[in-house]
Chains A and B, each alone.
Chain A
Amino acid sequence: MSTCSVSKGCFVFKPSPKKRRVSQKTAVHFSEGKNDLEDSELRFYTCQSLWNQIKLETEQIQEDLNKQLLDNLVSFLGRSHSEFQGKTTDWTCRMKSREIPTAALVLGVNVTDHELTFRNLSEALQNITPYIALLEAKDCPGIKNLMQKLMGQLMNCSTDVVSLEDDDYVQVSQNRIRCSMKSVVDWYESVTKKTDSETLSKKRTSSAKHQQSPPVVVIFKDMESFTTKVLQDFIVISSQHIRELPLVLIFGIATSPMIIHSLLPHSVSSLLCIELFQSFSCKEHLSTIIDKLLLTSRFPFKLGEKVLQVLINIFLYHDFSVWNFIRGFQLCIVEHFYSEPLSVLCCQLTDAKKRVNSLSHEQCENVRRLPSFRRYVERQEAEKQIALLTADSFLKETTQKLLEDLHVYHENYVSVLKCLHVFTCSLPKYPLGKQIRELHCACLENRVWETEDYETSLQLARMLNKSDLETMLQQCVEILVSSSGNELDKAVEKLKEFLTQFQKLEAEAFQEQDVSVSSQKELQKKTDLYHLQKTLLELKDSRRSKKLTKFEMLRFEVVDYIDSLVRRYLVPADHKTLHEIVYFNTASVLRGHLNAAPRIALHTALNNPYSYLKNQALKCDSGSISSKAPDICIVYKLHLECGRLINLVDWLEAFSTVVTAVDEPNADAASSDQVDDIIHARFIRAVSELELLGFIKPSKQKTDHVARLTWGGC
């Protein structure tokens, strides 16, 4: 069946049921179309399990970060609700205050991340009330739609509470009920009454855990995108019913709380009793994610410097969306496992060791082909080299060792990186960056100790005061102790030693002070002018030579020690043998898929077809274009010369001039007519293609003219 038709735009293809594979395994696609079938299944499952772990972890992180916010909100709901309950008898009091309790939830600009927050929120609120309605602006163009949506959601959730036996009530579809606040109130009354009676009677259904009259929560997910009119109407209407219906509003706000006042006039906003809740910032969230996913030895998979940089930049410059960051991370994992046959070893160390043993010969060859491994081999002695390159068993042994080295390196790397960060994060002007991710990138990029920034930060560190230095050392000790690496035990001892020395210094300082005081006293003694001059000179001399106090000496020592740690442990990963197995480094792929530049691609194709079509005829020097280029390129180039409007006839003329220049025009007129027709047709095609691409559009301003839609470049 063809998909071309002049009467239809959609075509459904349903294979006959018996032919239909129920659900093709994703793993099949993983191994399809590749020649190295080996281990691909194992690789796929490693990939999937790793991703699932990471996904769980990220969700956990978000939940933890949200916890505080949710707790606050829940208690807020409880409060508003208890007021209502307390005053149910006191109608008069309630009547006077028509304020709707409202929570303004400032969530930040990363709108795409809010989905998860709202999901958590509604889960958390389930404990308080079953009556939750989540509204989105796109569903509510008018107050009517809003009410419809609201009632639909409220009445659906009531089915959870009301047991299935009273179908006749629940089944009243929302279409038939008139969508008004009145019917909501009626519904609420009947539902609460019912649950009341139910709880009183023998059945203690799930509703029992809710209090007698649970509040009705209406969440506006994206408050800014609602029409003002709709919001105002809703608030005004519902404030009329607030004494019959314990309504609570939650506004999801992406910008700032001020938006409430700019969206709603005072007469409306005065009907709200607003409490502000601030969620954690997305940058914080990202830092936590990076800390928990990348700066840990829990997950074997690592990101290379460029890749991480790309992901972070997409985050910082495009969307602030942590969700997108994680999505990018997922893509990295998939790409890595898909493209790197040796990624089968990218798993926990114990598993990896086992897997090394079962590597096939082909995979061993793959190991030998790794650039980092080749470098390693070159460093070995001749016999060992031969053994590594010929004997698979020896290679496997070495690989195991190297993998272990890599693992140890990671453990140490992370702890030392954190230590270094403790030092650099408080330096003025942050030469190595404020965030640990910046430091991490710098360390991955190249030898950090060779950079200028590192030099300046060491200089600055040498000027730290004592109390700061002590607290930093203390922090470093904590970090190193908590890490599992044994190699760093020595470092811990050394740092502790420094700390005790500092304490000693304090004691010594007193004595020193005494000395200086005594020398001062000496000065004050009565002497003649000559002696005074002499002593003064001596003092000066001594000061110059003894410029360094003990504290300063110690400070130098500390900084030097940290420096030595850095040099030892923060070697960039790509200097490590077998780093290709765990590091994903092809940033270009990632950028191409996530941060694509369609216009640049189009522009390159039109301006420089040679970059796609490798034909020598198309190769030409500098910005010009050969007249042999595809028609659309020529037409495009010609149209760049024109102003706002383009005369089609002139354009056609120019086109045929260019094209016939190549076509070896022979003199006989008979064939040239034919040629002209073909050129004409080609021109038509090219022009309509340009129209499809959006470069031009037909213009009514003048007959046979088209308007250019681009200005300047592209």
Chain B
Amino acid sequence: MRRLSGKGCGALEVKFVPDEEVLKHIADDAGIKLQKDKAQPSVSVKRFVKKLENISDDEPQEILEEKDYVAALGICAQDPVGNGSSVSGGEVYSFKTPKRSSRLAELASELAQTPGQSAAPDHSKCPDKTTKAPQSSQRSSRVQQRNKKEFMSTTPYRLRNRLTVHYLESGSEYSSSCSEEDEENQKEDNTVSSGQKTPEKMKAASTLPPSSTLAKKNKESKMSNLVEEYFEAHSSSKVLTSDRTLQKLRRRRLSQQTLRDLLKKAPLAYAAEITELNQLHESLFSKWMLQLHLGFNIVLYGLGSKRDLLEKFRTSLLQDSVHLVVNGYFPSITVRSILNSITEEVLDHIGTFRSPLDQLDFIIERFKEDSSLELYVLIHNLDSQMLRGERSQQILAQLSSLPHIYLIASVDHINAPLMWDQAKLSLYNWLWYETTTFSPYVEETSYENSLLVQQSGSLALSSLTHVLRSLTLNARGIFRLLAQYQLENKDNPSYPGLSFQDFYQQCREAFLVNSDLTLRAQLTEFRDHKLIRTKRGADGVEYLLIPVDDSTLTDFLDKEDEDV
């Protein structure tokens, strides 16, 4: 990115110049650049993004640049959401290669390594291999850590790189291509001082200073690679990650309760700073009230749970007025229930409505008639799974547009603003407030079916045994067969289930059923109790599956064995 192009000759033009010059340029005349950018708003954003990628190796500069960018954002006035991703484009890889002067070149070379080989799978493969390393011999990795602690604590990626290399040397089973790559990375770590490398000549890395044409090529290939990489990564169904599962870990899934207890023990990091942040936000409460009353609605965004903040707002300012709190993260919340609580509890209306729209009309009518009615609506997580639908948002937007309904809501999802089109936005009449709190989302995630939390394992087991107790011996036998078969195949990730024909065969052999029909009747019974699931394979064959995780199933079989 050269000064000339910064000054802008109309068309979008990308030229390359060594990073040093870029830095100099930015330090010198950020002001000029800004001004010029304003003159050509449409072009400049792209340029900014590229610039960002270029200079991202120097943090202070980057902050400056980002500020400029954000400043220019208003001036250039591109869609901030769209740019949110682009601004970070330069930083994606920053974790790997901190403090290196030629990050871009390295990045590009990494992406464009061997043309024939796809870059994305490589990318996903290596970290996994590397992370595998510490686990395979955990104790020694600890030792390792202690040795290199200072170094590692700041640069985890490098840490892992090093660990990998370490284990590679000690002879592990990794593929040679991967290890080579790691070594190369390692080498780069050591040798890189400045300058860019051509992707083709990785080995000759530290020797030659860049020529601008090469760099340009480099860049171009990087850009196109990014696109290709995306499709490559998303087209292949092959998953290149390690096969380890949580089952193999000593501590598997924690129950919700133990999780909560454990987290209570863990001290909240940076409590003082977080309270400070919160106080900052709390000082705005009266301003929020003012703006709510002037016809705006308020939406809060930013990292961290905003629940406590809103609760505090509620308890400190809304005690004397009618208000409605909606937990958007509640798994079975619906717009209907929100409307119902308004009509039934706020407006004291008894009766039902045919559709939410009718109900909405009724509410609008009532609020128009009676100007003394006032209602504050607090919605935690307006962007939750249940409320993010188009129709729900439409209704909520219409509700919020009433002059005497004051809405204050929080959003967390990165794509939350996509919920609203212009029409809804104008109904909502949002004022955005950034309230980054860094507080953990305790309530919000407590309902979530988290992957790691053992949700209903115990429940499933007890229900399994209960249902089966009430069945005949043969039926139990049938289920047992299926369960055993499933456990035998648990290592096969693409296990589709047991096909009906095979199952029938096995049952016959075990003298459990005598006809196709009996088995079907039995299976219907299971299905009604949600003990099994059937799905049709690509070949039209019916496959049977027990939708319970393997550990529960093992427990179940063990118990059954005891009983027998």
A residues contacting B by CB (< 8 A) are 3-6, 8-15, 19-24, 26, 29-30, 32-34, 110-112, 138-139, 306, 309-310, 313-314, 316-319, 321, 323-324, 327, 330-331, 334, 338, 587, 591-603, 605-607, 609, 612-615, 618, 620-628, 630-632, 634, 637-638, 640-654, 657-658, 660-662, 665, 676-678, 680-685, 687-689, 691-695, 698, 701-706, 710-714
B301 to chain A, nearest CB (A): 4
23 A-B pairs (CB sep. < 8 Å): A11-B324, A12-B346, A13-B314, A15-B322, A21-B320, A23-B374, A317-B77, A317-B78, A593-B433, A594-B432, A595-B73, A597-B84, A599-B414, A605-B302, A614-B276, A622-B98, A624-B94, A630-B269, A630-B438, A649-B135, A681-B263, A685-B263, A705-B239
- Name B157's contact: one of A24, A334, A641, A677 (CB within 8 Å): A641
The answer to whether A10 and B98 touch across the interface, beta carbons within 8 angstroms, is: no
The answer to whether A692 and B94 touch across the interface, beta carbons within 8 angstroms, is: no
B3 at interface by CB-CB < 8 Å: no
Which of A13, A665, A691 has the most chain B CB atoms inside 10 A of its CB?
A: A13
Q: Chain A: which residue is nearest B442 at the CB level?
A: A685
A-contact bits for B109-135, CB 8 A (1 contact / 0 none): 000000000001101110110011011
Given A605-B302, A643-B121, A598 and B98 contact (CB-CB distance below 8 Å): no
The answer to whether A602 and B303 touch across the interface, beta carbons within 8 angstroms, is: yes
B46 at interface by CB-CB < 8 Å: no
In the complex, chain A residues whose CB is within 8 Å of the CB of B88:
600, 603, 607, 713-714
A-contact bits for B207-244, CB 8 A (1 contact / 0 none): 00000000000000000001000100110010111111
The answer to whether A33 and B283 touch across the interface, beta carbons within 8 angstroms, is: yes
Q: Can you add 19 more A-B contacts, CB < 8 Å, to A612-B277, A681-B262?
A: A4-B443, A10-B324, A12-B325, A26-B294, A599-B80, A600-B83, A612-B273, A615-B270, A621-B98, A623-B91, A640-B92, A645-B124, A646-B241, A683-B452, A685-B445, A691-B445, A692-B445, A703-B247, A713-B89
Which of A9, A682, A691 has the most chain B CB atoms inside 10 A of its CB?
A: A9
A618 to chain B, nearest CB (A): 8
In the complex, chain A residues whose CB is within 8 Å of the CB of B327:
3-5, 9-11
B406 to chain A, nearest CB (A): 11
The answer to whether B451 and A660 touch across the interface, beta carbons within 8 angstroms, is: no
Segment at the interface with A among B57-65, B191-199, B501-509: B57-65
The answer to whether A657 and B141 touch across the interface, beta carbons within 8 angstroms, is: yes
Given A601-B303, A662-B153, A112 and B423 contact (CB-CB distance below 8 Å): yes
A55 to chain B, nearest CB (A): 11
In the complex, chain A residues whose CB is within 8 Å of the CB of B469:
none
B511 at interface by CB-CB < 8 Å: no
Q: Chain A: which residue is nearest B378 at the CB level?
A: A3
In the complex, chain B residues whose CB is within 8 Å of the CB of A9:
326-328, 330, 332-333, 337-338
Kindly list the 6 A-B residue pairs having the minimum CB-CB distance in the complex, ordered from nearest.
A643-B124, A623-B94, A599-B84, A313-B77, A624-B98, A596-B432
The answer to whether B262 and A678 touch across the interface, beta carbons within 8 angstroms, is: yes
The answer to whether B159 and A20 touch across the interface, beta carbons within 8 angstroms, is: no
The answer to whether B154 and A12 touch across the interface, beta carbons within 8 angstroms, is: no
Q: Chain B: which residue is nearest A653 at the CB level?
A: B135
In the complex, chain B residues whose CB is within 8 Å of the CB of A598:
81, 84, 301-302, 411, 414, 416-417, 432, 434
A472 to chain B, nearest CB (A): 26
Q: Chain B: which residue is nearest A703 at the CB level?
A: B245
B473 at interface by CB-CB < 8 Å: no
The answer to whether A647 and B83 touch across the interface, beta carbons within 8 angstroms, is: no
In the complex, chain A residues whose CB is within 8 Å of the CB of B326:
9-11
B188 at interface by CB-CB < 8 Å: no
- Name A684's contact: one of B38, B153, B259 (CB within 8 Å): B259
The answer to whether A624 and B99 touch across the interface, beta carbons within 8 angstroms, is: yes
Q: Chain A: which residue is nearest B144 at the CB level?
A: A657
Q: Chain B: which residue is nearest A44 at the CB level?
A: B290
Q: Chain A: which residue is nearest B80 at the CB level?
A: A597
Rounded to whole angstroms, the CA-CA distance of A637 and B452 in the bound complex is 19
Q: Chain B: which residue is nearest A13 at the CB level?
A: B323
Q: Chain A: which residue is nearest B322 at the CB level?
A: A14
Rounded to whole angstroms, the CA-CA distance of A19 and B318 in the bound complex is 12
- Name A691's contact: one of B59, B338, B448 (CB within 8 Å): B448
- Name B320's contact: one of A20, A609, A657 (CB within 8 Å): A20
B23 to chain A, nearest CB (A): 13
The answer to whether B76 and A592 touch across the interface, beta carbons within 8 angstroms, is: no
B309 at interface by CB-CB < 8 Å: no
B432 to chain A, nearest CB (A): 3
In the complex, chain B residues whose CB is within 8 Å of the CB of A139:
357
A137 to chain B, nearest CB (A): 10
The answer to whether A653 and B262 touch across the interface, beta carbons within 8 angstroms, is: no
In the complex, chain A residues whose CB is within 8 Å of the CB of B233:
643-644
Rounded to whole angstroms, the CA-CA distance of A328 and B238 in the bound complex is 51
Interface residues of B in 407-435 (CB under 8 A from A): 411-417, 422-423, 425-426, 429, 431-434
Rounded to whole angstroms, the CA-CA distance of A57 and B332 in the bound complex is 47
B44 to chain A, nearest CB (A): 12
B457 at interface by CB-CB < 8 Å: no
B268 to chain A, nearest CB (A): 9
In the complex, chain B residues whose CB is within 8 Å of the CB of A3:
311, 325, 327
B287 to chain A, nearest CB (A): 7
The answer to whether B59 and A704 touch across the interface, beta carbons within 8 angstroms, is: no
The answer to whether B266 and A682 touch across the interface, beta carbons within 8 angstroms, is: yes
In the complex, chain A residues whose CB is within 8 Å of the CB of B323:
12-13
In the complex, chain B residues whose CB is within 8 Å of the CB of A684:
254, 259, 450, 452-453
The answer to whether B124 and A601 touch across the interface, beta carbons within 8 angstroms, is: no
The answer to whether B273 and A615 touch across the interface, beta carbons within 8 angstroms, is: yes
The answer to whether B41 and A596 touch across the interface, beta carbons within 8 angstroms, is: no
B17 at interface by CB-CB < 8 Å: no
Rounded to whole angstroms, the CA-CA distance of A677 and B91 in the bound complex is 32
A236 to chain B, nearest CB (A): 26
Given A331-B296, A624-B95, A678-B266, A657 and B80 contact (CB-CB distance below 8 Å): no
Interface residues of B in 281-326 (CB under 8 A from A): 283, 285-287, 289-291, 293-294, 296, 301-304, 311, 314, 318-326
The answer to whether A138 and B145 touch across the interface, beta carbons within 8 angstroms, is: no
The answer to whether A33 and B322 touch across the interface, beta carbons within 8 angstroms, is: no
B14 at interface by CB-CB < 8 Å: no
A222 to chain B, nearest CB (A): 8
In the complex, chain A residues whose CB is within 8 Å of the CB of B31:
none
The answer to whether A643 and B120 touch across the interface, beta carbons within 8 angstroms, is: yes
In the complex, chain B residues whose CB is within 8 Å of the CB of A712:
85, 89, 92, 226, 230
- Name B259's contact: one of A316, A647, A681, A710 (CB within 8 Å): A681
Q: Chain B: which residue is nearest A593 at the CB level?
A: B431
A350 to chain B, nearest CB (A): 27
Given A318-B77, A334-B294, A623-B59, A15 and B341 contact (CB-CB distance below 8 Å): no
B275 to chain A, nearest CB (A): 11
Given A627-B156, A704-B451, A647 and B242 contact (CB-CB distance below 8 Å): yes
B481 at interface by CB-CB < 8 Å: no
In the complex, chain B residues whose CB is within 8 Å of the CB of A658:
153, 156, 159
A241 to chain B, nearest CB (A): 27
B155 at interface by CB-CB < 8 Å: yes
B460 at interface by CB-CB < 8 Å: no
The answer to whether A21 and B436 touch across the interface, beta carbons within 8 angstroms, is: no
